[in-house]
Amino acid sequence: MNILILGSGGREHAFALKLSQSSQLKTLFVAPGNAGTAEIAQNIAIDPTDFQAVKNCVLTNEIEMIIVGPEAPLVGGIHDFILSDAQLKHIPVIGPKKDGARLEGSKDFSKQFMEKHEIPTARYQSFTNETLNEGKRFLETLKAPYVLKADGLAAGKGVLILDSLQEAKQELEEMLTNKKFGDASSTVVIEEFLDGIELSVFVLTDGKSYKILPSAKDYKRIGEGDKGLNTGGMGAISPVPFADDSFLQKVEDRVVKPTINGLQKDGIDYRGFIFIGLMNVNGNPLVIEYNVRMGDPETEVVIPRIDSDLLELFRGVAQQNLHEKLVKINPETATTVMMVSAGYPEAYQKGKEILGIGRVDNSTVYHAGTKTIDNKILTNGGRVLAITSLGNTIEEALATSYSSISKIHFDGMNYRKDIGFDLV
């Protein structure tokens, strides 16, 4: 099979490496990809949200399946675009259509969905500029801290958690009236703050049945001890020790099943990944958010623990016989540590030469933001490399990741030395 993966991060490199091990793969393409995917696939320099360019790429390269990594093309309707084109409509897309992608593209929609299908989540209400004053009054009924969420996609920055009521009211006005996040904040969800430990559960579905993939926890803040600015993710661990069988059973019964059934009841034919962000509140899972794709860097610890052929699972999604497939999970622990550029998550440097990747032997180096120029691998993003290791324990896997990092160098490199600190 000829396969096209859309995206350019560590997540896409992890998909690419796993798919490259499938006996069913003929040629693998990644668009636009990075220096890591270039080693195992053919990179195509196109923007995944340029659907016409994607079409040309699919026809030229006789692509037989499209795997969509990031949310933007999904929310923008790439799956619908493929289905509506006579030359492309037979080509399966792994990733939901626009209707399903609203679970991530609109926080208001996802809260309504959870409410309708009785999926546990924080109490909430949504407001627009016309209902600003009601929004301020709703804030008065809640206890600090206050959680404000821009309805639409805001590059991961649309959630504000504020300690004072005064500040929360001001920010609400900033979002609704002064369009702090542009159109993304023309509706704002205000919700109750959930106090607990976060984790994520990943589901692959063909719209009828589902497979639950390994759980993971990511470390979003730039600084050690979970301090400082939010990032895309600085590291991840899978499995999550406190997500034991009894907790995961609650997740399946209270969240996964009603989500899959809810999609069916609402006539949403969903084929792809569902990333469920959860808060464990006193042993009970509450949904913080849905994403309609895999997480990054969570993919870099989830995929290495799947022993089954990923392409076979994707074929199950495409042919709607996923229930016939077996997902074999490696019981070992996987850890990944992100190496990032100086300055990240604010303005960061690019174009620094990366040395030493070839000296790493016990970890997998997933490229996140890299490119090759004149046979040199250069940094090309805020998040540069994800260093994944397997071990019998979190400590063992982390020790391997950190030892591998010590062999790699680029100017200004930074990474968190405390990934997993709250779990060990």
Residues contributing to the site for ligand GLY (CB under 6 A): 218, 232-233, 291, 295-296, 298
> Which of ligand AMP, ligand GLY, none interacts with 304 (beta carbon under 5 to 8 A by kind)?
none
Q: Are 301 and 238 in contact (CB under 8 A)?
A: yes
Helix (H) / strand (E) containing 360: none
Selection from 222, 261, 180, 287 nearest residue 418 by Cα = 222
CB of 20 to ligand GLY, least distance (A): 22
Q: Using alpha carbons only, what angle is made at residue 259 by residues 284 and 272, rounded to the nearest 5 degrees?
A: 120
Burial class (CB in 10 A: 0-12, 13-18, 19+), 32: middle
> Which of ligand GLY, ligand AMP, none interacts with 193 (beta carbon under 5 to 8 A by kind)?
ligand AMP
Q: Which two tokens stand for residue 280?
A: 């464990």
Q: Which is nearer to ligand GLY, 5 or 91 (CB)?
A: 5
Q: Which is nearer to ligand AMP, 191 or 206 (CB)?
A: 191
Compute, in degrees rounded to 10, the torsion defined by CA atoms 102, 103, 106, 109. Answer: 100
String marking each residue 80-119 x if it binds ligand AMP according to CB under 6 A: ----------------------------------------
> Which of ligand GLY, ligand AMP, none interacts with 122 (beta carbon under 5 to 8 A by kind)?
ligand AMP
> Which of ligand AMP, ligand GLY, none interacts with 40 (beta carbon under 5 to 8 A by kind)?
none
Q: Hey, which residues between 163 and 192 contact ligand AMP (CB under 6 A)?
A: 191
**Which region holds residue 401: left if phi is over 0, alpha if psi is between -120 and 50, else beta?**
alpha
Q: How far apart are CA 120 and CA 408, in angstroms?
A: 44
Selection from 209, 216, 269, 221 nearest residue 241 by Cα = 216
Alpha carbon 91 to its chain's center: 24
Q: Which is nearer to ligand GLY, 191 or 218 (CB)?
A: 218
Q: Are 269 and 207 in contact (CB under 8 A)?
A: yes
Q: Which is nearer to ligand AMP, 231 or 380 (CB)?
A: 231
CB of 363 to ligand AMP, least distance (A): 26
Q: Are 157 and 189 in contact (CB under 8 A)?
A: no
CB of 107 to ligand AMP, least distance (A): 7
Q: Using alpha carbons only, what angle is made at residue 29 by residues 24 and 32, rounded to the nearest 5 degrees?
A: 150
Under the binding rule (CB under 6 A), the answer on residue 122 touching ligand AMP is yes
Q: Which is nearer to ligand AMP, 196 or 412 (CB)?
A: 196
Please tell me what DSSP assigns to residue 44: -
String marking each residue 133-162 x if it binds ligand AMP according to CB under 6 A: --------------x-----------x---
Under the binding rule (CB under 6 A), the answer on residue 224 touching ligand AMP is no
> Which of ligand AMP, ligand GLY, none interacts with 100 (beta carbon under 5 to 8 A by kind)?
none
CB of 149 to ligand AMP, least distance (A): 6
Q: How far apart are CA 109 and CA 101, in angstroms?
A: 10
**Neighbour tally for 220: CB within 10 Å:** 17
CB of 18 to ligand GLY, least distance (A): 17
Interaction site with ligand AMP (CB under 6 A): 122, 147, 159, 191, 193-194, 198, 277, 288-289
